[in-house]
Amino acid sequence: MERSSWVLVDGENIDATLGGSILGRRPLPEERPRWDRLLAFVSDRWGRPAKGLFFLNASSHLPMPFVQALLALGYQPVPLSGPADEKIVDIAIQRTLRALVDRDDDVALVSHDRDFAEDLARLATDGRRVGVIAFHEFRSTEFTGIPGVEFFDIEYDAEAFDAPLPRVRVIPIEQFDPSDFLR
């Protein structure tokens, strides 16, 4: 059986960071990530098929148009329900990361959340590729202490957005272009 790359998406986390920390408001549909680009990015970068699991809190309702769109993009939606005081998406992702320990597959986590650091560390010790895709400046610093984890910016590396986001970022000097600022 061919080794796969799993892309585990914490959609709530990405959406909350995009809306609350970058845009300062709820993202418009055209400002949200193009989720299919993440699968293509991981597949191209790691040279093997990428399969996506998109975790959703569906405790209050199941957004069927979004679920249908995810299916069309090649993701397996994982709609979850549970008590309001539990982080059900985090629990499901943690369980999935733990289940992947017994497999040889590579894993790319799309989240900023430090709650996954311990489980990623377990995965990064056995020769598989493990990555975190997020907004670099909001990614948990606990991930950086895990040897072997690759880091990708969801906007700059994975190119998951149609238009540039209003982010302030540290620019490597070899990428600095003054025309970006002289407008």
Task: Give the separation between CA 125 and CA 153, rounded to whole angstroms.
Answer: 23
First to last CA, the chain: 53
Task: Give the separation between CA 2 and CA 130, rounded to whole angstroms.
Answer: 17
Give pLDDT, residue 1.
62
Q: What is the pTM of this model?
A: 0.92
Give pLDDT, residue 183.
77
Give pLDDT, residue 30.
87
| Residues of the chain where predicted confidence (pLDDT) is lower than 50 | none
pLDDT in tens, 147-168: 999 999 999 999 999 988 998 8
Give pLDDT, residue 115.
96
In one letter, which amino acid is 37? Answer: R
Q: What is the set of domains in the chain, with CATH numbers?
A: 5-180 (3.40.50.1010)
